[in-house]
Structure 1
């Protein structure tokens, strides 16, 4: 199985979100992949010390993480995709990276009854899965690239 450098996108503002991301990161690392997760890239102290430059620090650090990656895994739960996650997906798509969306949320969030998430997000995805097991299995088969 090929090993990838995975940028793990998704909201990280609550303890529940952070715990979910940490568990997924551990699972992907156990499968032999390198994981770049924004929650691991900067400490609270680094962000506080950046003062007025904190936004630029976060932006540049995450952007460079995407640029180092071979694919993106994005958590798409919620009534609407997190705005930072949406940007990360769009940037990765523009770079031609495969993007795997994971949505464990059973609620409908797209514009049509056939949509799972916003059409602009769904259109960027190489695949959309509903659980971590399927995601890991897909990565074992090899990356699926976006069709541009």
Structure 2
């Protein structure tokens, strides 16, 4: 059975709810996949309990390195530091990475006013995502801007 590692921020109710939703959809679409979601690992990620940095790093890295594919949610003000680290581990291990970047500010890339605004300091109408981290994904995968496209793309890695 193939394994998928789901990397996403896990620190707010919004993130937990979205992750639950997306992981459920992936499991429904691909019942043959074993999906590892760090937020479901109470032993290390129950925030009312205690796990030190080494335990967390070992536990999640072992799960990631035993996976066949990785999903990386890139949404947020910046890419979550843990997700960026997981992307680096997956890239180095040769594990295909599917990125998800749904920021709505990507829309309107041909809008003349938005493009002209780029010439004014602090007037970018577009979202920024770290290009080094995105480059690691694109060298061994692809970035999608909707969860529907991302879920469909999993099939090409199975």
Bin the TM-score by the shorter chain.
0.7 to 0.9
RMSD: 2.5
8 Å contact from structure 2 (residues 8, 83) kept in 1: yes
Q: 1:119 and 2:131 equivalent?
A: yes
2:71 matched residue in structure 1 = 73
Q: Gapped runs of 5+ residues in structure 1?
A: none
CA shift in 2, pair 1:71/1:116, >3 Å: farther
1:17 matched residue in structure 2 = 15
CA shift in 2, pair 1:115/1:107, >3 Å: closer
8 Å contact from structure 2 (residues 100, 146) kept in 1: yes
1:89 matched residue in structure 2 = 87
8 Å contact from structure 1 (residues 9, 72) kept in 2: yes
Q: 1:135 aligns with which of 150, 154, 157?
A: 150
Report the 3-state secondary structure (helix = DSSP H, G, I; strand = E; otherwise coil) of the residue aligned with 2:94.
coil
- Say which one has the larger Rg: 2
CA shift in 2, pair 1:42/1:122, >3 Å: same
Taking the TM superposition and a 5 Å limit, the aligned residue runs for 1:1-80 are 4-31=2-29, 32=31, 33-43=33-43, 44=46, 47-48=49-50, 50=51, 54-80=52-78
TM-score by length of 2: 0.76
Q: Gapped runs of 5+ residues in structure 2?
A: 107-123
8 Å contact from structure 1 (residues 79, 107) kept in 2: no
Report the 3-state secondary structure (helix = DSSP H, G, I; strand = E; otherwise coil) of the residue aligned with 2:55.
helix
